[in-house]
Amino acid sequence: MSVRTRFAPSPTGYLHVGGARTALFNWLFARKQHGSFILRVEDTDAARNTDEARQAIFDGLSWLGLDWDEGPEKGGKFGPYYQSRRAEIYDTYFEKLLASDRLYKDGDAYRFRFDRTPVTMRDLVCGEVTIDYRDASNTPDMVIRRSDGSYVFHFVNVVDDLEMKITHVIRGEDHLMNTPKHLQLIAALGAASPQYAHIPLILNPDGSKMSKRDAGAAIGDYPRQGFLSAAVVNFIALLGWSSKSDDEIFTLTQLVDRFSLAAINRAPARFDLEKCKWVNQQHLAKIDTETFAELAKPFVENENLPVTENYLAVITAVKDKVRLLTEVPHAIDFLVTDTASQDSEAVEKAKANPNSALLPTLADQLANLNEWSAENAKQAIGEVVTANGAKAGQLMFPVRVALSGRAHGPDLGDIFEILGKEKTVKRLRSF
């Protein structure tokens, strides 16, 4: 049978980074094995499920590039793909257990009668795990149907996996201890179980469990913060998985090629938003300037900065200087407007530099240039420092701050080219 994996979120909130990683690992494994990736929605909690949350999950998966082969919006022969629409299927399986004397009434609820033997599972990540069911005080019989007639997660989850012919269940380690229960249910139904792989939890840098309120938890926030989807996928893949090489930057296609369950780490993963920003910077560096310019444009316009005639040159100058697309407006504002904010600390440091006294002289030298170019401007700096017994490197910092208002940024040659002669001279004289 071909590989079939699934992602089964509950639409009670946004798509969490932990859920996104579970979806990604299932998707990568299915694609690597030329199998199918199924999306099904566990929406039986009517009080907490919302249409907005469901759409946020779909949008998040789509933004990440994790297309599903069967499920909502796609269909498939094993639907419906919403648990709320599968009641008749669950009733049929309930009757099977009832007929085989594996259920008994407890008040108005029904419990599943465990086999009182040790159950050993062989997890593809965690290895061999055994739960001893001989002591009923530690492992009481499990409620299958509540007194209100609704079915519990463990039952419907198993039924769906069997009905949808799931071959591999890849899910969070917090479900590890549920699996022996599921194996008992599957055995009682006379079916073959999927293979299980429980992936490590995602922790904050301080070792605490990552919650929905922590920075970086919501996938929907990443596009607004200027991340590329390819970079976020790349970063999420590294949370608990290793390529077994020194490489860390991958495209989605490369991840498919390299992914294996054997390379999933046993230890919990540490979430590091700064690392995610670094990964994003590496991906930004790899895209062509025209694409970068188009991606950056909405963020530039959102800050009411003009998209000038030389916009492409402006963008090119800062392409390798930013980690996020949201950083582009601040990186270019001094190039496209004369009212950009200044770094007071950098300005103070530059004015305290004795070489700043040479700025008016440099301005005069530049004003006299017949042909404006970065090369000629830099040559003028060399002539001024030589004539005054200074060094070019000592004057570069005051020049940079006078032109940009900050200590770091694009190459000084790019600044000369973009600002042009008139603005360069004016800023040097007014500093």
**Would you please indicate which residues are annotated as catalytic (active-site) residues?**
212
- Are 44 and 87 in contact by the 8 Å Cβ rule? The answer is no
- Are 392 and 381 in contact by the 8 Å Cβ rule? The answer is yes
Q: CA end-to-end span of the chain, whole Å?
A: 73
Task: Give the whole-angstrom CA distance, residue 36 versus residue 33.
Answer: 9
- Taking residue 152's Cβ as centre, other Cβ atoms within 10 Å add up to 16
Two structure tokens written together for 35: 């199998």
DSSP secondary structure, 305-340, as one string: ----TTHHHHHHHHTTT-SSGGGHHHHHHHHH-S--
The closest of 261, 235, 265, 240 to 250, measured between CA atoms, is 235
- Are 360 and 428 in contact by the 8 Å Cβ rule? The answer is yes
Give me the sign of the Cα torsion angle 409, 402, 360, 358.
negative
